[in-house]
């Protein structure tokens, strides 16, 4: 059942569940953050409406800077503005930022510990027809390896809004990963959110869980759908929503591993270097258990509809279900 303590969306499993692009939640959160803090500024690389920065631009035109198609300049200008007391949010497609400007992020932002939020929109395979050149499936790996960098991957638009507002409070180097397509709303305004703290969004109403699914981003909804279906087969699952890749909620992950002794990780990203790698790195040190990884398997993307691509690259509900069955067979 959905965790009642989290006050999640009661229509999560309905066919007519509300669907909103995760990036829209960022746009709404940035606008609210700008209303609360006059030192917040926004910079974009010629993708203002696509990345949903237009809400902020329309309300605060004097605090918005259009850099143009120059992503390396985008983050170095932001670093300079941070040094002068401003708190910049910078946005582009994830393939370009951090994809194109990673060294500038490393040197001018992280190395100098500048408070800048890098917003990578249109991340993952679900960008769809834009094709492999524009499908960022390596960005989590690029960003979580950077010292001082916080990495967030919200599961829906409401969580993205909360993540934006939370980042506006702490003013640290951070990466916020956003998806392009409409995504089912899982959380509500009352659902708790704290950077670095995962949430158990699904749990069996009786007995001990047999498998723990650790998911992030837009695929959290698919993990929930699988957990609900497998409950009918008397397979008890807990689903942990990890919206913060770094700092990782190691306490929640270890607790889940000790309880279930079998883990499945789910992400719309390369298996290498992403959430699955982060989970495995930690559990290998403290409590090794069988792990199955659902994600992109060392390949580039291609053009297609978002739903076709999710299935083609092995990240659909069927694939998650098969991973659960496989890890169950590996339990000691």
C-alpha 321: how far from chain center: 21
pLDDT of 309 reads: 97
Residue 185: name the closest of 8, 315, 4 by CA.
Answer: 8
Same domain, 10 and 25: no
71 and 162, same domain (yes or no): yes
User: How far apart (Å, rounded) are the C-alpha atoms in residues 110 and 194?
Assistant: 22
Do residue 170 and residue 220 come from a single domain? no
Locate 246 and state its tokens: 């770094």
Q: Which of 188, 242, 185, 184 is nearest to 217 (CA)?
A: 242
Same domain for 272 and 203? yes
Angle (nearest 5°) at CA 327 between 267 and 331: 140
Picking from 91, 85, 39, 90, the residue whose alpha carbon sits closest to that of residue 60 is 39
For the chain, give percent helix, strand, coil, nearest 5. Answer: 40, 20, 40
Region for residue 89 given its phi and psi (left: phi exceeds 0; alpha: psi -120 to 50; beta: otherwise): beta
Look up the domain containing 197 and give its range: 4-16+192-330
Q: Which two tokens stand for residue 205?
A: 């109403």
- What's the number of domains the chain is made of? 2
Torsion of CA 87, 93, 96, 97, to 10 degrees: 30
End-to-end CA distance of the chain: 26
Q: How far apart are CA 306 and CA 192, in angstroms?
A: 29
Q: Are residues 116 and 253 in the same domain?
A: no
Contact (Cβ atoms closer than 8 angstroms) between residue 144 and residue 246? yes
Does residue 206 share a domain with residue 149?
Answer: no
Residue 205 is predicted with a pLDDT of: 85
Same domain, 85 and 217: no
Give the pLDDT of residue 210.
97
Catalytic status, residue 71 = yes
Count the Cβ atoms, other than its own, within 10 Å of residue 329: 9
> Can you give the pLDDT at residue 123?
97
Q: Are 128 and 303 in contact (CB under 8 A)?
A: yes
Residue 177: per-residue pLDDT: 98
Residue 265 in tokens: 């990780």
pLDDT for the residue numbered 104? 98
218 with 324, same domain: the answer is yes
Q: Please count the other Cβ atoms lying within 10 Å of the Cβ belonging to residue 254.
A: 15
So what's the pLDDT on residue 206? 84
Q: Are residues 74 and 180 in the same domain?
A: yes
- The tens-digit pLDDT sequence of the chain (332 residues) is 999 999 999 999 999 999 999 999 999 999 999 999 999 999 999 999 999 999 999 999 999 999 999 999 999 999 999 999 999 999 999 999 999 999 999 999 999 999 999 999 999 999 999 999 999 999 999 999 999 999 999 999 999 999 999 999 999 999 999 999 999 999 999 999 999 999 999 998 888 999 999 999 999 999 999 999 999 999 999 999 999 999 999 999 999 999 999 999 999 999 999 999 999 999 999 999 999 999 999 999 999 999 999 999 999 999 999 999 999 999 87
Domain boundary among 160, 184, 208: 184
Give the three-state DSSP class for 224: helix
Single out the catalytic residue among 62, 71, 181, 292. 71
Q: What is the model's pLDDT at position 224?
A: 98
Q: Report the CATH number that the domain containing residue 131 is assigned in CATH.
A: 3.40.50.970
Rounded CA-CA distance 317/120 in Å is: 25
| Distance, CA of 74 to CA of 91 (rounded, Å) | 9
Directed axis angle between helix 22-36 and helix 157-170, to 10°?
30
Same domain? 51 vs 156? yes
Q: What is the CATH number of the domain that holds 276?
A: 3.40.50.920
Whether residue 45 sits in one domain with residue 91: yes
Question: What is the rounded CA–CA span in Å between residue 90 and residue 171?
Answer: 13
């Amino acid at each position: 059942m959905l965790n009642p303590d989290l006050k999640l969306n009661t229509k999560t499993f309905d066919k007519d569940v509300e669907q909103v692009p995760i990036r829209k939640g960022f746009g709404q959160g940035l606008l609210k953050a700008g209303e609360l803090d006059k030192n917040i500024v926004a910079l974009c690389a010629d993708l203002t409406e696509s990345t949903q920065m237009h809400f902020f631009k329309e309300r605060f035109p004097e605090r918005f800077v259009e850099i143009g198609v120059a992503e390396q300049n985008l983050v170095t200008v932001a670093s300079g503005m941070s040094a002068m007391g401003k708190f910049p949010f910078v946005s582009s497609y994830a393939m370009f930022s951090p994809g194109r400007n990673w060294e500038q992020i490393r040197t001018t932002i992280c190395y100098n510990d500048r408070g800048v939020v890098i917003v990578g929109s249109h991340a993952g395979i679900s960008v769809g027809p834009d094709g492999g050149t524009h499908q960022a499936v390596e960005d989590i790996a690029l960003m979580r390896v950077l010292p001082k960098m916080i990495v967030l991957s919200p599961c829906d638009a409401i969580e993205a809004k909360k993540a934006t507002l939370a980042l506006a409070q702490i003013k640290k180097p951070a990466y916020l990963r956003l998806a392009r397509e409409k995504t089912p709303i899982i959380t509500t305004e009352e659902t708790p959110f704290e950077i670095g703290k995962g949430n158990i969004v699904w749990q069996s109403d009786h007995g001990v869980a047999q498998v723990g699914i650790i998911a992030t981003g837009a695929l959290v909804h698919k993990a929930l759908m699988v957990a609900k279906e497998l409950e009918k087969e008397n397979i008890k699952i807990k689903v942990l929503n990890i919206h913060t890749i770094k700092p990782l909620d190691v306490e929640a992950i270890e607790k889940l591993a000790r309880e279930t002794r079998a883990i499945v990780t789910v992400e719309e990203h390369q298996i290498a270097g992403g959430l699955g790698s982060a989970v495995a790195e930690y559990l290998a040190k403290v409590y090794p258990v069988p792990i199955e990884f659902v994600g992109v398997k060392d390949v580039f993307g291609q053009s297609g509809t978002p739903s076709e691509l999710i299935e083609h690259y092995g990240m659909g509900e069927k694939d998650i279900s098969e991973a659960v069955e496989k890890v169950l067979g590996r339990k000691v």
